[in-house]
Chains A and B, each alone.
Chain A
């Protein structure tokens, strides 16, 4: 008997307006699908957590009738578990109820049980048991600015959470409110929006109130983050103290997506839309754009993408995996999902005609996978 080589497989989770689909692949070109899971419930948030020697898929699920919840699967969707008392619920005295879970964010490898969540109404949550129970972050919930935060078109939510390797610096982004930063692991929070435009307000440069659509941290440069704003693409090199425009070279500065490379400094992706008032790919030609120099220049990536596409790509409907080269994935509100095994140079269509794609997440796992069958990380 010979030794079996350890194979790598890829998992792609696609959350839509009417359920979740799971896809697996050995080469990121051919995909096998299972689904729909949670048919008729929307799945706006997903995390694939490969820490702790397992592959745990966590999903924020919301039914128009039956409300929101968080479920998880440790067997690639064969079975789902929903904690009996609910994973996320506002504590007594807040007089608030969770409307929608917008973000599920596994923390660093060094903090394997820690999972963060962002929700509507604007709130940040933290779990220390792998996403089975979350506690409300009181520092942000009790922030004196909270009554002045507003709602974007999709609702008032904390949608981006970025934690630095030390665990001390936490950035969140909310629509609308902008970027808030904690230097003490989430105990206290201050707005950090200097340089980010809020052109829709009487004062276009307020301390807070911006409609930041997505933020992501640079993989290797400490203190560097990128932001896709409601018009405007920005970078900070000092943990949000100052933001500068990096939109030059893009066909449009509107959009929702901001992705960063899993390891390489200076690499990020956006998927531009024409404008606030015209939320379609510029000229109807779908493309991702990648920078490899922290936003000084951008490269258009449209190989394999339709050049007649009029659907938007939403903020969490895009993801990278951790492979080398990194895979890039995104889905449209028209229900198409695209995968690139080479950092966006070439895309193939994974799925089409699904319901509106709300969230896409991808991960590398060891072993050969069958959707719906048990899997280990």
Chain B
């Protein structure tokens, strides 16, 4: 069984106890939405930063699976295989 790594931007790391990478055990493919659901149990404030209460990914939050932004794939239904890396990055926004 290989872990899935979730890499956090530095600004969100305080909401995960200072960790820069969270790991989720996986014995097969899971969806990005499932991964975020499982994050919410341990880190509910972090989870709210990424998705609103309808479950939608916030507009300026980008999630990459093996280098591809999930909006270009299947959104939160995008599958992540064991051993893959998920990277969360805020997009360029604001002024």
Task: Report A's interface with B, CB cutoff 8 A.
Answer: 40, 63-67, 69, 82, 84-86, 89-90, 95-98
Contact = CB atoms under 8 A, between A and B. Distances in A.
B61 A86 contact: no
A84 B53 CA distance: 13
A96 B48 contact: no
Chain A residues touching B, majority SS? loop
Given A66-B49, A84-B45, A86-B48, A97 B56 contact: yes
A69 B60 contact: no
Contact of B53 (A63, A64, A82, A86): A86
6 contacts: A65-B58, A67-B52, A67-B58, A86-B45, A90-B54, A97-B56
A76 to B, nearest CB: 21
Contacts of B44: 84-86
Interface stretch (B25-33, B69-77, B87-95): B87-95
Given A65-B94, A67-B49, 17 more contacts: A63-B49, A64-B93, A65-B58, A65-B90, A66-B12, A66-B90, A67-B52, A67-B58, A69-B48, A84-B44, A84-B45, A86-B44, A89-B53, A95-B54, A96-B54, A97-B56, A98-B52
B45 A82 contact: yes
A67 B54 CA distance: 13
Interface of B: 12, 44-45, 48-50, 52-54, 56, 58, 60-61, 90-91, 93-94
B54 to A, nearest CB: 5
B52 A97 contact: yes
B94 A90 contact: no
Nearest to B91: A65
Contacts of A85: 44
B90 A97 contact: no
